[in-house]
A and B are shown apart, each in its own frame.
Chain A
Amino acid sequence: MREHVISVKVENRSGVLARVAGLFSARGYNIDSLAVSETEQPDISVMTIVVRGDDRVIEQVKKQLNKLIDVIKVSDHPPGESVQRELVLAKVLANPAKRSEIYQLAEIFRAEIVDISKRTITIEVTGEPSRIDNFVELIRPYGIKELIRTGRVSLLKEQKE
């Protein structure tokens, strides 16, 4: 059960997200994350889907996606051949005694402090998913009040000549 990143270019129309999401639930595929946005062409959207499964399941997922009329292109994004990023916002409990430790940690991760209150600090980190995972693990002991991740976005690297 490997994790796969599938990038799906679709017509930017209402109902398309429901079609894609419906396909996953109807056929029993699990989505780990899903991010949707516009692309350089306003009439095309891109969905970056992280899905788990063996090669045969992933092959079926891609074929089923291709079958949807509104899907223009489905491509696989293997880790080595693509740039993958994710953003996390974490609201961490931070009493004055722990604050400087958290600041240091944020600095190491080139994170940004985006909100501070008496008891919490909200930190934003962008990066590869594994880096985000590391960051989350390191701040967990301080107490995470709320955490949200955007889901992965991915671009294929330009072919080297």
Chain B
Amino acid sequence: MKKTGAEIVVECLKREGVEIMFGYPGGVVIPIFHYLFDAPFKFVLSRHEQGAVHAADGYARASGKVGVVIATSGPGATNLVTGIATAYMDSIPLVAITGQVSREMIGNDAFQEADVTGITRPITKHNYLVQDINDLARIIREAFYIASSGRPGPVLIDIPVDISRGETKFVYPETVSIRSYKPVTEGHPRQIEKACKLIENSKRPIVYAGGGVILANASEELRAFVKKTGIPITTTLMGLGAYPETDELSLKMLGMHGTYYANHAVNECDLLIAVGARFDDRVTGKVSDFAPFAQVIHIDIDPSSVQKSVRVDVPIVGDCKNVLREINKLVQPPSIDEWVKYVKEMKQNNPLSYRDSERVIKPQYVVEKIYELTEGKAIICTEVGQNQMWAAQFYKFTEPRTFISSGGLGTMGYGLPAAIGAQFARPDRRVIDIAGDGSIQMNIQELIVAVQHRLPIIIAILNNGFLGMVRQWQELFWGKRYSHTCINCQPDFVKLAEAYGAVGIRVEKKEEVENSIKRALEITDRPILIDFRIDREENVYPIIPAGKSIKEMITSELI
């Protein structure tokens, strides 16, 4: 039976099991939208293409499924770029479909033409420009496979409008086979044995787990590994939730704004077991001073992550889930009682802390209250900057896929649209966007999408009237010259929320914090924005300045 290209697109998405798609129409995707009108899956119209791609990304992170987004050619597609790069840096499975001008017009500077495969080449795992309608179904099938297998990532398909309008006999490819793409998922048995030996003989081991554990759905295997070996564990920002932070062996987050005890434990360890983490500069600081006494085991599905920035003694390329399962079968617990005792004491004596105040609202206090009142069961999305770090530090994450944040790219404006995607993925959970007054304004237009779909997302703005993280750096490292970081000329966020049809609450006193969150949690049919007026110059501590070592950690205001 003959089908148009546009029909093939919708049919293939259906066969991939797509439940929801985010996007924004435009000239050259009208044929596809024509069939999306009665597609058997949900379509969510954003108010800006960036909102659509972040929502698809948030949906993917919260659900573990592939996020799907569509935009038109030219500006529609270029508006996706930040979101695609965000997904690429954090290895999020995404399929982005863009319209393109018709094939005979490509290269003519046609209306709304942009070389989208060219623009997105370095920020996609792979991309396609469809040049023959007979390739369309195969390409869509491959795109979903590539996006979700191996080290996941975004894949873009650019479809010229004449292909969408053209017709062909539709044959659905039942299987995918790409001769040049065969990700390794099983760890090498000899490497696994070597790793077990190192673990068993170690005196001061630490597990360093990253986002790869969550992407691989290997949280259970990781917990089993820690349980069996008794080794203390720290996670990266992307790994939050992979291991319960309420457990006594959890050292919470490491790195630039990580805990004192996680960073010191890594600094003193004799064996670092990296699982699904990539030794990012925000984790290592000065690489030559990172974990100086440690032998390193590195489990990762991406061979190019291994030996990239840090020398590794036992690399194991494979899916974290499979590799950990094999290790768990073989490994014997090391004798590390003294080390564990030492690390636990360090944890006890140097907790994350802040100087609370009765006079002003401390942002850390707000995050703690959110944790308490949601009983740690919320899905926390963040914007980027201080809000993101306070959320990471003061909320205790216990489950994977409950912390959703732009880690690698650090995209301001990510949180609200991601929260929309996450709420669609998890209607059973409260979704809270911990935001700053800067970031929230970058995609505030998406609030109407939450109103339209009656999503009870809570937007907690930690409002200090500053671009706080940059201001903090200016304070600490640039002689307190607050060049263009003061943004206290700002909209009335309560009225803004109300104008959109959301609930707006302003909180200026500490004693109102708890009640405002309770009130927000009672509302279940629309988004709630809470404007917390916090201490304007509160800083995030500890901080290890960029490119420095643990010796230069600043632990509090007092120093």
Contact = CB atoms under 8 A, between A and B. Distances in A.
B181 A63 contact: no
17 contacts: A10-B180, A11-B180, A15-B117, A18-B118, A18-B121, A22-B121, A26-B122, A56-B307, A63-B304, A67-B302, A67-B303, A67-B304, A69-B125, A69-B181, A70-B180, A71-B180, A72-B180
Contacts of B118: 18
Given A11-B180, A22-B121, A63-B303, A69 B308 contact: no
Contacts of A15: 117, 121, 129
Contacts of A67: 302-304
Given A15-B129, A63-B303, A63-B304, A69 B180 contact: yes
Q: Which of B125, B304, B308 has the most CB of A within 10 A?
A: B304
Interface of B: 117-118, 121-122, 125-126, 129, 131, 146, 178-181, 302-304, 307-308
A64 B146 contact: no
Contact of A59 (B117, B302, B307): B307
Contacts of A22: 121-122
Interface string A50-88: 000000100110011011011110000000000000000
Nearest to B305: A63
Contacts of B180: 10-11, 69-72
A67 B178 CA distance: 13
A19 interface: yes
A56 B178 CA distance: 29
Interface string A24-57: 0010000000000000000000000000000010
Interface residues of A, number: 20
A67 B182 CA distance: 10
Q: Which of B117, B131, B181, B307 has the most CB of A within 10 A?
A: B181
Contacts of B146: 69
Nearest to B302: A67
Nearest to B155: A69
Q: Which of B118, B121, B125 has the most CB of A within 10 A?
A: B121
Nearest to B178: A69
B284 to A, nearest CB: 16
A127 B533 CA distance: 74
Which 6 A-B pairs give the minimum distances between C-beta atoms? A63-B304, A69-B126, A72-B180, A26-B122, A63-B303, A69-B181
A59 B308 CA distance: 9
A81 B302 CA distance: 29
B319 to A, nearest CB: 16
A64 B307 CA distance: 12
A10 B307 CA distance: 25
A115 to B, nearest CB: 35
A16 to B, nearest CB: 10
Contact of A66 (B117, B303, B307, B308): B303
Contacts of A56: 307
Contacts of B178: 69
Nearest to A25: B122
Given A11-B180, A63-B303, A69-B125, 9 more contacts: A15-B121, A15-B129, A18-B121, A19-B121, A22-B121, A26-B122, A60-B307, A64-B304, A72-B179
